[in-house]
Chains A and B, each alone.
Chain A
């Protein structure tokens, strides 16, 4: 079953603006990962945050994790048209070491 839920489902912004996407999950996790999928392509791993971490940065990406609220956010700063893609969160469950649980994705459109 899919437990990750991203919101918003779709987001449209102007170049240069920041984009924030959220992910909520239901069970305990040992890590949460964010992936990007460009149209017609496979998913690309962006960042992994462990359950004992609260924030992680990678370039223009900032990920936060709040295990008490069972939620994570992905912030893309100074967005570019090339950031247009779908973004998925996936969780690794502490009790299930064999598969990631995927969210439904947020479709981000960055307008030039």
Chain B
């Protein structure tokens, strides 16, 4: 059984397009995250939701808009894609608080041409 799943796994698109990445977890967790990992493997938190409420919103361009329709789902919509958005995007989930281990999805490799 897949714990944290993301779709699509690969996404190749042109500059200026709008795209979405979807994430689902079946672990019963109440907190979900979006991370961006660049080519140097630097992992940066972008957003976090707890029980559908946005609790972390790092300095991210407002072209990025997360949406959590329920506790088990967290989607990421990106408008007007730019070359610099190329990266691997990871969804993760956990129970509340930083004492809890995070479970990561397989990642979505976004390439903007």
Q: Could you say which of A42, A86, A105 has the most chain B C-beta atoms within 10 Å of its C-beta?
A: A42
With known contacts A2-B42, A105-B41, A100–B107 Cβ distance under 8 A: no
- In the complex, what residues of B have CB within 8 A of residue A88's CB? 43
A88 vs B42: C-alpha distance when bound (angstroms): 10
Report the count of interface residues on B (CB-CB < 8 A): 22
Total contacting residues, chain A, CB less than 8 A:
27
Residues of A within 8 A of B44 (CB): 2, 102
Assuming the contacts A42-B4, A45-B103, asked whether A99 and B98 have C-beta atoms less than 8 A apart, the reply is yes
Decide if A31 is an interface residue (CB 8 Å cutoff).
yes
A98 touching B104, Cβ below 8 Å: no
B48 at the interface (CB under 8 A from A): yes
Chain B residues near A (Cβ < 8 Å): 4, 40-45, 48, 55-56, 90, 92, 97-99, 101-107
Of all A-B residue pairs in the complex, the 10 with the closest CB atoms, nearest first, are: A92-B98, A42-B104, A45-B101, A43-B104, A102-B43, A42-B106, A105-B41, A99-B56, A42-B105, A99-B45
